[in-house]
Structure 1
Amino acid sequence: MPPIYYSFFVPTLFVWLWSTGFIGAKYGLPYAEPFTLLLMRMLLTLLPLAVLALVMKSRWPGWRGAGHLVVTGLLVQGAYLGGVFYAIDQGMPSGVVSLIVGLQPLVTALAAVLILGEAVAGRQWLGLVMGLAGVALVLLEKLGDGVDGASVPPTTLVWAGLALIGISLGTVYQKRFGTGVDLISGTMIQYLAAAAFFALGAFTLETREIQWSLQFGLAMGWLVFGLSVSAILILMWLIRRGAASQVASLFYLVPPVTALEAFFLFDERLGPVAIAGGLVAVAGVALVVTGGPRPSKC
């Protein structure tokens, strides 16, 4: 049996932290353009990670290992975050972005089968489909509150699709090539790669102007310490211990949790359809997590 911190507490903490990324984006994007905001986020994140690397005497990978981490950083950080933030900034409701990115477990499971040769049992596929159905139910009310598919700019679909592909392939790539790397130093290399990606976008597509405010500062602080430091380190740790398709199934819980946060923060109320969808998503995740191979004990 896996220890309690693996089987319940750590995945629960990760889902909550990851869900707040959409909230942080909503608070921060009115004051800075997406790539500019994300570039600042990456640079600020490197400071506490550098301190952690010194204190914990992190081991640094060789050039080949660093190259794999650069690829993971461009996918998990650059493509995913850039896609999500730009989709929201250009007019796609955050709930719709969550729904599209919520397809990630299915894409990751398929990629894990094709690339890693992971076995995904019929019970797990059922859980993945249930999770997708649950996410759709949770977001049905938001889609029915006047979100017309024709009114969403086509470019936002491209950005959301980029985010979906980035996080899906990045999860599988990290599982295949990055599981033996020190978490702190590995994450730093990923953020350096993402910072270069965001700098390229900021200097070619944006004005790089920032409207400084208390709300922007608080949003940036949470995006740095709550998401870029805590959530990403937990994600890399989970990928190292579990099958890629099982870790990906946790993302099904993010939209329901985000909906709960929106209820408390923005008074967006949940109806019976959304509540039922949350229960279906939880049941789907349970099928995936309990139906596959046991995590390694490294």
Structure 2
Amino acid sequence: MNFLLSTAFVLCWSSGFIGAKLGAGSASAVTILMWRFLPLAVILIIITAARTSWRGLAVRDVARQAVIGVLSQSGYLLTVYYAIQLGVSSGTTALIDGVQPLVAGALAGPLLRQYVSRGQWLGLCLGVSGVVIVTRADAAAGTGVAWWAYLIPFLGMLSLVAATFLEGRSHRQVAPVVAMTAHCVTSAAIFTAFAISTGAAKPPAELAFWGAIIWLVALSTFGGYGLYWIILRRSGVTRVNTLMFLMAPVTAVWGALMFDEPFGAQTVIGLVVGLAAVVIVHRGDASSTRGREPDTERVETSRPAEYRA
């Protein structure tokens, strides 16, 4: 089950880059983001209005989820889309996002008290190497782009890391559908206000735009974003973020199939290295769990599920 969830997560999260490219030719980033989240927020409100999952949640629980939504959706997506709009290539953006697992792994110990073994560190560093191999040529081609534009996706990566740890430190576990509703409603409000204030709220009439919106909602939001939080709660920060190493090579394969983008030996090598990194981290996590003392196991089990590695 974990393998199937991880595979689906990688494919769905990678689809966000493909969907962004599908819609880039017909509308600006803020227009795409507004119409990606506005209808979705309405649908989720209708679906969850009568659910009992909201019962027992305090105002601060909902507010916490709203903040997580601002960081993980609004902050992350807006910076990524804006960077690409400024001329930063998708490969360079993927490279910067690929540093996220190393940042999350370094912070998992002091913030969530999650053990990161030497084998896992080896896998994390190997994963960074795989991402660098795949995106190196694309990053080198980003000439003519202002230097500060490359800081924007870095801020987005930090925003998603902050959201991950804010969720990990939550003492009350919120149902995934409720959390997604709070996140999407918050994002819809932010992107709609931004689009209206900049005169970009009107959607284009092209079918390609609406096809991209459907793609992004179904695959990227429900699939990628939803599975991100499910895997985070089931497996912990280190595992879910290690899967992010596979996004760049998988996106490269997908882009080659759909848009005839170049797919050479570097991409193949990067994909193999990324897969090896995931295997090493997952095995390191399993061996470290088996090697724990009984007392440690009892302490670990007594924590809420989202605290476990």
TM superposition score normalised by structure 2? 0.87
Question: Is 1:28–2:17 an aligned residue pair?
Answer: no
What's the C-alpha RMSD, in Å, of the aligned pairs? 2.2
The aligned amino acid for 1:11 is S
**CA–CA separation in structure 1 for the residues paired with 2:13 and 2:172:** 21
Q: Give the aligned partner of residue 42 of structure 1.
A: 37
Q: Structure 2: any 5+ residue segments left out of the alignment?
A: 290-299
C-alpha distance in 2 between matches for 1:14 and 1:176: 23
Contact 1:263/1:270, CA 8 A, preserved across alignment: yes
Moved more, 16-25 or 174-183: 174-183
> Residue 134 of structure 2 is aligned with which of 138, 143, 152?
138
Q: Which residue of 2 aligns with 1:80?
A: 76
Q: Structure 1 residue 156 and structure 2 residue 149: aligned? A: yes
Indicate the larger mover: 208-217 or 182-191: 208-217
Q: 9, 12, 19: which one pairs with 1:14?
A: 9
Matched letter for residue 135 of structure 1: V
Match of 1:210, SS? coil
1:267 correspondence with 2:260 = yes
Contact 2:108 2:114 in 1 (8 A): yes
* 3-state SS in 2 of match to 1:177: coil
Report the CA distance between 1:123 and its aligned residue. 0.7
Distance (whole Å) between structure 1 residues aligned to residue 52 and residue 211 of structure 2:
30
3-state SS in 2 of match to 1:164: helix
- 1:111 and 2:107 matched: yes
* Aligned 8 A contact 1:44 1:224 in 2: no
Runs of 5+ in structure 1 lacking a partner? none
Find the partner of 2:283 among 284, 290, 293.
Answer: 290
Please give the alpha-carbon distance, in whole angstroms, between the structure 2 residues aligned to 1:70 and 1:189: 6
Equivalent residue, structure 2, for 1:102 = 98
- The alpha-carbon distance between structure 1 residues 32 and 257, as it changes in their structure 2 partners (threshold 3 A), is same
- The answer to whether the 8 Å contact 2:38/2:192 transfers is no
Q: CA deviation at 1:246?
A: 1.3
CA distance in 2, matches of 1:69, 1:35: 22
Which whole-Å CA distance do the structure 2 matches of 1:107 and 1:151 have between them?
29
- % identical aligned pairs: 30
Whether the 8 Å contact between 1:58 and 1:182 is mirrored in structure 2 is: yes
Give the length in aligned residue pairs. 290
- Residues 145-171 of structure 1 show CA distances to partners (whole Å, capped at 9, x for unaligned) of xx14x4222342232122111111111
- 1:35-76 per-residue CA deviation (whole Å, 9 max, x = no partner) reads 232122111112332344257653352211112101110111
Pick aligned residue for 1:186 from 179, 189, 193: 179
Name which of 59, 75, 79 aligns with 1:63.
59
1:98/1:218 Cα in 2 relative to 1: closer, same or farther (>3 Å)? same
Q: 2 CA distance for matches of 1:260 and 1:226?
A: 17
How far apart are the structure 2 equivalents of 1:281 and 1:206?
42
